[in-house]
Structure 1
Amino acid sequence: MINAAKFISSTLRPSYLLTIVTVVRQDGAAAEHSRLVSISLSPPISYRKHGTDWVQDSLKPVDVPRLLLPLSSWLVFLLVGLSIGLVSGVVSMATVWISNAKTGFCASSVWTISKITCHQWRRWSDWKLVNYIIYVVLSTLFAFIAAITVKKLSRRSAGSGIGEMKSIIAGFENPEYLRLPVLLVKTCTLPFAIASGLSIGKEGPSVHVACCIGELVASLFPYFHKSKLKVREILIAASAAGVACAFGSPIGGVMFSIEEMTHTYTTKMIWRSFFCALAATAMLSALNPFQTDGKLVLFQVTYDRNWHFFEIIYFIVLGVFGGLFGTLVIKLNMLYSKFRQNHLRNNGVMEVVLLAFLTAIICYPNPFLRIDQTESMSVLFRECDGIGGARSEENFGICDSGEDWTTINRTLLATLLRTLLLIITYGAQVPAGIFVPSLAAGATFGRLVGTLSRMVYSRYSHIPLFGECRSDAQCITPGTYALLGAAASLSGVMRIWVTIPIIIFELTGALNYILPTMIVVITTKAVCDFISGGEAGIADQMVRMNGMPVLTRDDDNYFNVRISGVMKRRVVVLEESVKVADLDRVLEEEEYSGYPVVQSTQSMKLVGYVDADVLQQRLASLAALSQHSVVRFSNRRTIFDAQNEEQDGSTGNQEIDLSDIVNDMPISMSPSTTVDVVMKMFKKIGPRVVLITRLGVLQGLVTVKDLLEETEMLRVGNERAIKATKASIGEDVADFWNRLKQGVQGVSKVMRWRGR
Structure 2
Amino acid sequence: MLSSGPSVCVTWASCRPAPGDTGPPSISAPSPAPYRVCSPQGRSAAGRRWQRDPPDQVLPQWGEDPPRGPAQGETLVIKVSGVILSVVGGLAVGKEGPMIHSGSVIAAGISQGRSTSLKRDFKIFEYFRRDTEKRDFVSAGAAAGVSAAFGAPVGGVLFSLEEGASFWNQFLTWRIFFASMISTFTLNFVLSIYHGNVWDLSSPGLINFGRFDTETMVYTIHEIPIFIAMGVLGGVLGAVFNALNYWLTMFRIRYIHRPCLQVIEAMLVAAVTATVAFVLIYSSRDCQPLQGSSVSYPLQLFCADGEYNSMAAAFFNTPEKSVVSLFHDPPGSYNPMTLGLFTLVYFFLACWTYGLTVSAGVFIPSLLIGAAWGRLFGISLSYITGAAIWADPGKYALMGAAAQLGGIVRMTLSLTVIMMEATSNVTYGFPIMLVLMTAKIVGDVFIEGLYDMHIQLQSVPFLHWEAPVTSHSLTAREVMSTPVTCLRRREKVGVIVDVLSNTTSNHNGFPVVEAADDTQPARLQGLILRSQLIVLLKHKVFVERSNVGLVRRRLRLKDFRDAYPRFPPIQSIHVSQDERECTMDLSEFMNPSPYTVPQEASLPRVFKLFRALGLRHLVVVDNRNQVVGLVTRKDLARYRLGKGGLEELSLAQT
CA distance in 2, matches of 1:302, 1:38: 57
Q: Which residue, out of 263, 267, 284, partners 1:353? A: 267
Residue 429 (1) aligns with residue 357 (2): yes
Structure 2 counterpart SS, 1:381: helix
Contact 2:490 2:585 in 1 (8 A): no
Alpha-carbon spacing, 1:40–1:596, altered in 2? closer, same or farther (3 Å): farther
Q: Which residue does the alignment assign to 2:118?
A: none
Q: Which residue does the alignment assign to 2:107?
A: 214
Alignment gaps of 5+ in structure 2: 1-17, 114-123, 282-310, 553-580, 649-654
CA distance in 2, matches of 1:552, 1:7: 35
Residue 569 (1) aligns with residue 458 (2): no
5 Å-filtered alignment, 1:203-602, equals 203-220=96-113, 221-288=124-191, 294-296=203-205, 297-304=207-214, 305-346=217-258, 347-364=261-278, 365=281, 366-367=311-312, 368-382=314-328, 384=330, 397-398=333-334, 407-458=335-386, 474-532=389-447, 535=448, 537-553=449-465, 556-557=468-469, 558-589=471-502, 592-599=507-514
Alpha-carbon spacing, 1:676–1:512, altered in 2? closer, same or farther (3 Å): same
Structure 2 counterpart SS, 1:376: helix
Structure 1 counterpart SS, 2:359: coil
Residue 603 (1) aligns with residue 549 (2): no
Structure 2 counterpart SS, 1:337: helix
Q: Deviations over 1:97-129 (max 9, x none)?
A: xxxxxxxxxxxxxxxxxxxxxxxxxxxxxxxxx
Q: Which residue does the alignment assign to 1:678?
A: 606
Q: Which residue does the alignment assign to 1:185?
A: 78
Greater RCO (CA < 8 Å, at least 6 residues apart): 2
CA distance in 2, matches of 1:498, 1:11: 51
CA distance in 2, matches of 1:271, 1:175: 33
Q: 1:701 Cα deviation (Å)? A: 1.2
Q: Which residue, out of 603, 615, 630, partners 1:687? A: 615
CA distance in 1, matches of 2:511, 2:203: 59
Instruction: Supply the AA of the counterpart residue of 1:344.
Output: I
Q: 1:217 Cα deviation (Å)? A: 2.9
Flag the structure with higher helix content: 1
CA distance in 2, matches of 1:704, 1:11: 25
Alpha-carbon spacing, 1:174–1:295, altered in 2? closer, same or farther (3 Å): farther
Contact 1:630 1:656 in 2 (8 A): no
Contact 2:489 2:586 in 1 (8 A): no
CA distance in 2, matches of 1:5, 1:624: 32
Q: Which residue does the alignment assign to 1:63?
A: none
CA distance in 2, matches of 1:447, 1:270: 37
CA distance in 1, matches of 2:146, 2:441: 26
Q: 1:594 Cα deviation (Å)? A: 2.7
CA distance in 1, matches of 2:33, 2:262: 54
CA distance in 2, matches of 1:199, 1:229: 36
Instruction: Supply the AA of the counterpart residue of 2:137.
Output: I
Structure 2 counterpart SS, 1:512: coil
Q: Which residue does the alignment assign to 1:735?
A: none
Alpha-carbon spacing, 1:519–1:282, altered in 2? closer, same or farther (3 Å): same
CA distance in 2, matches of 1:491, 1:228: 32
Residue 715 (1) aligns with residue 642 (2): yes
CA distance in 1, matches of 2:611, 2:51: 30
Structure 1 counterpart SS, 2:39: strand
CA distance in 2, matches of 1:257, 1:579: 45
Structure 2 counterpart SS, 1:4: coil
Q: TM-score, length-normalised on structure 2? A: 0.74
CA distance in 1, matches of 2:229, 2:523: 62
Q: Deviations over 1:386-427 (max 9, x none)?
A: x66xxxxxxxx23xxxxxxxx221111111112111221101
Q: 1:243 Cα deviation (Å)? A: 0.8
Q: Compare 365-374 and 654-663 and name the one that shifted more.
A: 654-663
Q: Which residue, out of 508, 514, 530, partners 1:612? A: 530
Structure 1 counterpart SS, 2:21: strand
Residue 196 (1) aligns with residue 89 (2): yes
5 Å-filtered alignment, 1:171-182, equals 176=69, 179-182=72-75
CA distance in 1, matches of 2:544, 2:402: 67
Contact 2:235 2:440 in 1 (8 A): yes
Q: Deviations over 1:229-281 (max 9, x none)?
A: 22222221111111112112111111101111113223332223222222222
Q: Which residue does the alignment assign to 2:39?
A: 22
Q: 1:576 Cα deviation (Å)? A: 4.5
Q: Compare 294-303 and 208-217 and name the one that shifted more.
A: 294-303
Q: Compare 422-431 and 596-605 and name the one that shifted more.
A: 596-605
CA distance in 2, matches of 1:576, 1:274: 43
Q: 1:554 Cα deviation (Å)? A: 6.3
Alpha-carbon spacing, 1:576–1:269, altered in 2? closer, same or farther (3 Å): closer
Alpha-carbon spacing, 1:664–1:552, altered in 2? closer, same or farther (3 Å): same
Alpha-carbon spacing, 1:668–1:174, altered in 2? closer, same or farther (3 Å): farther
CA distance in 1, matches of 2:489, 2:208: 65
Alpha-carbon spacing, 1:213–1:579, altered in 2? closer, same or farther (3 Å): closer
Contact 2:379 2:393 in 1 (8 A): yes
Residue 703 (1) aligns with residue 617 (2): no
Contact 1:408 1:448 in 2 (8 A): yes
Q: Deviations over 1:598-656 (max 9, x none)?
A: 236983532222223323433554578669x9999xxxxxxxxxxxxxxxxxxxx9876
Structure 1 counterpart SS, 2:399: helix
Q: TM-score, length-normalised on structure 1? A: 0.65
Contact 2:155 2:417 in 1 (8 A): yes
CA distance in 2, matches of 1:357, 1:588: 49
Q: Deviations over 1:423-477 (max 9, x none)?
A: 2110101101111111111110110111111222226x6xxxxxxxxxxxx3322
Instruction: Supply the AA of the counterpart residue of 2:88.
Output: A
Instruction: Supply the AA of the counterpart residue of 1:596.
Output: P
CA distance in 2, matches of 1:244, 1:19: 51
Contact 1:236 1:257 in 2 (8 A): yes
Structure 1 counterpart SS, 2:499: helix
Alignment gaps of 5+ in structure 1: 52-171, 389-396, 399-406, 462-473, 633-652, 722-756
CA distance in 1, matches of 2:593, 2:134: 26
Instruction: Supply the AA of the counterpart residue of 2:42.
Output: R
Structure 2 counterpart SS, 1:606: strand
CA distance in 1, matches of 2:85, 2:409: 25
Larger C-alpha radius of gyration, 1 or 2? 1
CA distance in 2, matches of 1:35, 1:596: 22
Contact 1:243 1:253 in 2 (8 A): yes
CA distance in 2, matches of 1:582, 1:379: 68
Structure 2 counterpart SS, 1:352: helix
CA distance in 1, matches of 2:68, 2:324: 38
5 Å-filtered alignment, 1:35-54, equals 35=48, 45=58, 48-49=61-62
Q: 1:176 Cα deviation (Å)? A: 4.7
Instruction: Supply the AA of the counterpart residue of 1:511.
Output: V
Instruction: Supply the AA of the counterpart residue of 1:286.
Output: F
